[in-house]
Structure 1
Amino acid sequence: MKLIKILTIGQILLGTLGFSQEIKFNADRKGLESNVQKIEVLNFGTFHMGETSDENKTEFDENDKENQKAVHKIAAMLAKFKPTVILVETRPEYDEKLQALYKEYVKNPNMKFKNPNEVELLAYELGRLSGTKRIYGIDHKMSYNYKIAGEINNEIDKEMLYKYYQNPIPFHTNLKVDRDNLSLLNQLKFSNHDLYLDFLITVNADMLTHAGTKKGFEGADEAAKYYQRNLRMYSNLNRVKLTKEDRVFILMGASHTAFFRDFISRSPKYKMVNTFDYLK
């Protein structure tokens, strides 16, 4: 009988690196990065500018002319990335309509939308300025019960969870910002800062691991659903046919941006560019 040798990931890496190579583990990350050419991605988080089913909504009048001008100024900044592909938070089954409206907008940027959202205000304008030909939706809808802690007899970490959700700011002191008094540009800078993106993963998912019955994992299971939704959205990104020459702009609600930041940072296929190189 022929024996099949199964190598562990560790064995593969050791065999690839070779024992003769000396690695400086205190070197910066760049020194250890792959030389493989990756697809550049500008992963941009925003709040929902039109109607949304999200529990938390930022006050923003999407029909106000000055607000629309402010969004278009930001679109002009981001257009310097020159994306060849734009991905947005709509479901793939909506792509035909999404693309038809986009083509119509490119021909007539003065066209009116009844209640424009971030796709129509920001993504369409950015694409028009960049000459982008392709736009797709990568959203995947899944519900999860973020209120689960209040619906069960929490025997894991009830006191900590209660303190946190009463006021999370003391646990994230650098996030103490009066967002209502920020310009739109500074609001979006704030929304794309690593500290805020970390907070969004914590508050939307990770804190639920502090909730559960004596022998149950109710909170963790709900948090897993949010991770699953974002992983499925990331899988939708991977369904888009791309080449090494493509440059991808992704526009989503910032909590999804936070998860994608983590996924892309480890990806052998994609390379995330610095949002703040363009948002200035």
Structure 2
Amino acid sequence: MKKLLLAVLLLAGTCLSPVLAQQGKTGGKDDRAQVMLLGTFHFAYPNLDMVKTEKKDQLDINSSESQRDIARITSQMARFKPTKIAVEVRAEKQAKLDSLYQAYLQGRHELGVNEEYQLGFRLAKQLGHTRVYAIDTWGNLDAYQKPGTSEFEVRDDIKERMEKFWTYMQSVSKARAEAEKKQAGHTPRTLYKTIQYMNQPEAIRKSHEHYFRDAFQYEETAQDYTGVDWYSATWFNRNLRIFRNIQRITESPSDRILVIYGAGHVALLEQAVDSSPTHRLVPAHTLLK
């Protein structure tokens, strides 16, 4: 059994696509596809995350100032010379994204306020790209999902425990949001300055730090890993799957992939890209001057 397990682990380490396997042969930096991760906030403010943004603190994406900032950001990202642009849209919605992008190119679609449109579509058109890539996905919820349900519904045997955990998550997230507001002092920020700040190494580190506080440490006994297991299945697993989708759209060592994503994802995606033998990380902050 031990020999079989060892063989499986060794095989797993060699199962690369033909293109990526070819990339790994020379082992030099120049034979790796380059990836730039541009962290953003969600321009449409869907407020689906635990920390909400109040209306009075939201930036007007359609204002002349914000539109100038968007033009400035796309101009700076163009200096990376991306061959592909990937956005935070579910991978199974690629056909719909293709349809919207083609309509936009033909002048039949007015851009929505979402960052995948305002940044992704604009820059892709500017660079003459034929498509924008959808690479988003969700984490592995199989351990929590009630069998036979299409929408997420937690299993009966853990429902009470998970409801207690989610109530705790909401309370600590609200408290953290209020504390951050007081610390920030409600200073108005432009869209450009916000994106510029989000992509600084220290801001990326601080954003990632939150995933190891509060709810991550939730437990009812010393043998309880409710918080750890939830974040492992949802957040950490999700970002590994997103990186797998980045690998899937990588077709050549000469690819230069610009990934436009929620800033909270950047730390884990950076780690994945930087650890990959087939990709090379190019930090976005170097262009946001």
- Counterpart for residue 270 of structure 1: 279
Matched AA of 2:121: Y
Q: Superposition pairs for residues 214-253 of structure 1, below 5 Å?
A: 214=221, 215-225=223-233, 226-253=235-262
What's the CA shift for 1:98? 0.9
SS of match in other structure, 2:241: helix
- Counterpart for residue 203 of structure 1: 210
Aligned mate of 1:189, from 196, 201, 204: 196
Alpha-carbon distance between aligned partners in 1 of 2:61 and 2:172, rounded to the nearest angstrom: 35
Aligned mate of 2:36, from 25, 42, 55: 42
What's the CA shift for 1:47? 0.3
Q: For the Cα contact (< 8 Å) 2:66–2:192, is it kept in 1?
A: no
Alpha-carbon distance between aligned partners in 2 of 1:239 and 1:208, rounded to the nearest angstrom: 32
Of 134-143 and 214-223, the range deviating more from structure 2: 134-143
What's the CA shift for 1:180? 4.3
- Counterpart for residue 27 of structure 1: none
What's the CA shift for 1:223? 1.7
SS of match in other structure, 2:89: coil
Give TM-score scaled by structure 2 length. 0.70
Structure 1 position 56 matched with structure 2 position 63:
no
Structure 1 position 151 matched with structure 2 position 145:
no
What's the CA shift for 1:169? 11
Tell me which of the two structures has the higher relative contact order, counting C-alpha pairs closer than 8 angstroms and 6 or more residues apart: 2
Alpha-carbon distance between aligned partners in 1 of 2:126 and 2:173, rounded to the nearest angstrom: 43
SS of match in other structure, 2:261: strand
Give the paired residue count: 238
Q: For the Cα contact (< 8 Å) 2:32–2:279, is it kept in 1?
A: yes
What's the CA shift for 1:72? 2.1
Of 176-185 and 243-252, the range deviating more from structure 2: 176-185
- Counterpart for residue 120 of structure 1: 117
Alpha-carbon distance between aligned partners in 1 of 2:174 and 2:69, rounded to the nearest angstrom: 33
Give the percent of matched residue pairs that are identical in Structure 1 and Structure 2: 25
Q: For the Cα contact (< 8 Å) 1:80–1:130, is it kept in 2?
A: no
Q: Superposition pairs for residues 23-172 of structure 1, below 5 Å?
A: 34-36=27-29, 37-52=31-46, 53-58=48-53, 59-108=58-107, 111-113=109-111, 115-142=112-139, 151=164, 166-167=175-176
Change (3 A) 1:122 1:35: same
Alpha-carbon distance between aligned partners in 1 of 2:79 and 2:252, rounded to the nearest angstrom: 20
Structure 2 residue runs of 5 or longer lacking an equivalent are 10-26, 145-153, 155-160
Alpha-carbon distance between aligned partners in 2 of 1:62 and 1:164, rounded to the nearest angstrom: 26
SS of match in other structure, 2:66: helix
- Counterpart for residue 268 of structure 2: 259
Give TM-score scaled by structure 1 length. 0.72
SS of match in other structure, 1:138: strand
Change (3 A) 1:200 1:246: same
Alpha-carbon distance between aligned partners in 1 of 2:243 and 2:172, rounded to the nearest angstrom: 33
Change (3 A) 1:229 1:206: farther
Higher normalized helix content (fraction of residues): 2
What's the CA shift for 1:207? 4.4
Alpha-carbon distance between aligned partners in 1 of 2:91 and 2:136, rounded to the nearest angstrom: 7
Q: Which has the larger radius of gyration?
A: 1
Q: For the Cα contact (< 8 Å) 2:82–2:258, is it kept in 1?
A: yes
Change (3 A) 1:278 1:248: same
What's the CA shift for 1:134? 3.4
What's the CA shift for 1:165? 7.8
Alpha-carbon distance between aligned partners in 2 of 1:55 and 1:46, rounded to the nearest angstrom: 17
Q: For the Cα contact (< 8 Å) 1:48–1:253, is it kept in 2?
A: yes
Q: For the Cα contact (< 8 Å) 2:90–2:135, is it kept in 1?
A: yes
SS of match in other structure, 2:79: helix
Q: For the Cα contact (< 8 Å) 1:205–1:223, is it kept in 2?
A: no
